[in-house]
Chain A
């Protein structure tokens, strides 16, 4: 029984009104509950993109595991990358409750039809980039995911709660790397500043287009999938991060950055949305490389999948023989 398949969804207005009333009352929607087909599709889209982002997100960091400067850093980075794999699995598992196969979603990632967060299409050029990713990219993800932990769809919200607990370590280890470099030699400090210069704007783009240019936002907010708008989340991240940069003596690369007394917000200069759309549409610095690496990893893992299945089949045969005897 797959209760959420389209055929069971008769989209009459009364049913939708009842569904929206449940959400307005703060109830959680669970896999077997009736839901509008559009709600289901939006969730599959969001959750699968999120899961893919966790998986592709392993690549820029995995790139530095063998070159981590100390054993302590290497252990942390290995653990972080392993967490990202786990996060991908939590969210794929949540997405499967909506009646889609993980296999199908992974095929969409590998054949390039699925999207993932554009931030992972930027290269990690120096060790400081690993610090910047933990601090800024995971920092931005935490702001977003803390909001999603209150999403109306139960399996998604529960996966987010688990992920948020783990990501705090990711952010702190990244910030520690940046703080150490910033307090190091002049060359190390330059390296940290250079990483901040390159990762700052792409991190702000992670929250998506401005509210006025975000076609899905209204619906997602109405259905309680999102609880805050892109711009609200981005502002929260900026306010948190500016003080953190100052504390480790790094400069946010935005000459227009200014504190607004009235709103108590840090206001930023314009975001380069042309760059954002260029990377989303597949023309970022590493789009091809990331997908090629992902396909290669999938193909390289084939023998493991075959071996595991062969082992299970052999065990099953042995069991049935011993039962017969």
Chain B
């Protein structure tokens, strides 16, 4: 999820000024499947406004009941971590094995 969105967004800003162009603003699409799973990034659509972005997203990413809910968000509105951050940014989570259950010993034969 870290890299999807604002990879192609610099040209997005001036898109509204070229009305008959296909480069309308870019929106990232998140679809929530039935059954309570969280929204997941599905892809992107170009659309003039939020309402048509939702309609396009429905037609492109939910033709077979894939979703019970769709979010669309302007790609430029997403802040994402970069691959350069990878090491240091995620470090705090990598050196704490005591956050995992396997870190702890239990007597043999006990079911937890």
Contacts and interface: CB of A to CB of B under 8 A. Distances in A.
Interface of A: 1-4, 30-34, 79, 82-83, 86, 89-90, 93-94, 96-97, 99, 101-103, 106, 154-155, 158-159, 162, 166, 302, 305-306, 308-313, 315-316
Given A2-B10, A82-B63, A159-B43, A305 B4 contact: no
15 contacts: A1-B9, A31-B3, A82-B59, A83-B63, A90-B43, A93-B44, A93-B45, A96-B8, A96-B26, A99-B7, A99-B8, A308-B24, A308-B52, A310-B19, A311-B48
- Interface size on B, as a range, is 20 to 34
B101 interface: no
Closest 4 CB pairs of A and B: A309-B19, A312-B48, A30-B3, A31-B7
B20 A306 contact: yes
Interface of B: 2-4, 6-11, 16, 19-24, 26, 42-46, 48-49, 52, 59-61, 63-64, 80, 82-83
Nearest to B64: A166
Contacts of A305: 19-22
Contacts of A89: 43, 45, 60
A2 B5 CA distance: 11
The interface centre, meaning the residue of B3, B11, B59, B61 with most chain A CB atoms within 10 A of its CB, is: B3
Interface of B is mostly: loop
Nearest to A316: B49
B68 to A, nearest CB: 18
Nearest to B28: A93
A112 B17 CA distance: 27
A100 to B, nearest CB: 8
Contacts of B43: 89-90, 93-94, 158-159, 162
A309 B52 CA distance: 10
A89 to B, nearest CB: 5
A312 B18 CA distance: 13
A306 B19 CA distance: 6
Contacts of B49: 311-312, 315-316
